[in-house]
Every structure is written in C-alpha cells, then in structure tokens.
C-alpha cells in the first residue's frame, strides 16, 4: 500500500498556504527526501516564496499520473484527503529566512471532520540530511 501525505507550503506570516497531495512515500524518510530534492529546483535560500516552492515540489516529485496533485486552499483539516497518514508543513523562520519542516502523523476517525494528529518531526532545513538518516533508522527499527 501507498503511504499518502499532504504537504503545506506556508508563506512568511502564514497568510498564504499551498497544499500538495502525494500518493506514495509519505513516511518521514521519503517526505524529507522529496523536500531535499525540491531545494534543487526552488529559489536558493534565503529567497522563499511558498507558491514557488510548492511548484518546485510538484516538479521534483511527479513521476506518474495522479501521484502528485495540487489541493484546494484552506485549513488543512477541511481540504485534506481522508486517507493521508502524514502531513508536513514547510515555512520560513528567523532573520536569515531559513526553512523549518514540521511533520505530523494524522488519522481521521470519520469523514474529514474528526482529525487527530501527533507531531513527529520539527527540524531546520539545515539538518535535513541527518533527519533523513534518523528517519531511515527509526523505520528499520519498527
């Protein structure tokens, strides 16, 4: 089975948010790998524009029809597909406009109204390589 995930690219201040659905490899190791690949296609930091980073993510990760798709704007709980297992937020922080990635394990009990989430990841983009290795190690240990 595929591990589905939702990625939210949030602008500085949180006013704009662009959501992308990915049908497979949404577990932390896969997700961080996708975000790392996106860095090669997006504006070089410290420049970060949420819409541009979301577009770069689609380019970096779309390998088949339906595998990666744009989602509606709005609060994540209202627009998320009911079958996602993880969600990730990418947003700028700090004076040097670094990026932060937060990850959550999510599940929905009924419909799309009763979401539960547990934070599993909170890293600076500078630490992405170490986080990928840690996630792989944890995945093997389960």
What is the model's pLDDT at position 142? 58
Domain count, the chain: 1
What lies within 8 Å, CB to CB, of 73 at 6+ separation is 17, 18, 19, 79
Give me the domain span that covers residue 18: 5-141
What is the model's pLDDT at position 110? 67
DSSP 8-state secondary structure symbol assigned to residue 85? S
What is the model's pLDDT at position 30? 94
pTM score:
0.92
What is the model's pLDDT at position 14? 82
pLDDT < 50 regions, the chain = none
Model pLDDT for residues 94-108, shown as the tens digit of each residue: 876 789 999 999 998
Q: Which residues pair with 20 in a beta bridge?
A: 7, 70
């Amino acid at each position: 089975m595929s591990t589905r995930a939702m990625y939210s690219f949030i602008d500085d201040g949180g006013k704009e948010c662009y959501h992308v659905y990915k049908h497979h490899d949404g577990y932390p190791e896969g997700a961080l790998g996708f975000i790392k690949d996106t860095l090669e296609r997006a504006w070089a930091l410290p420049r970060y524009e949420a819409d541009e980073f979301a577009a770069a993510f689609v380019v970096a990760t779309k390998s088949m029809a339906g595998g990666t798709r744009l989602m509606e704007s709005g609060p994540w709980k209202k627009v998320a597909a009911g079958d996602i297992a993880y969600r990730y937020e990418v947003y700028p922080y700090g004076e040097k406009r670094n990026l932060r990635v937060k990850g959550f394990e999510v599940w929905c009990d009924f419909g799309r109204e009763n979401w539960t989430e547990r934070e599993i990841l909170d890293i600076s983009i500078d630490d992405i390589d170490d986080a990928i290795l840690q996630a792989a190690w944890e995945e093997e240990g389960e």
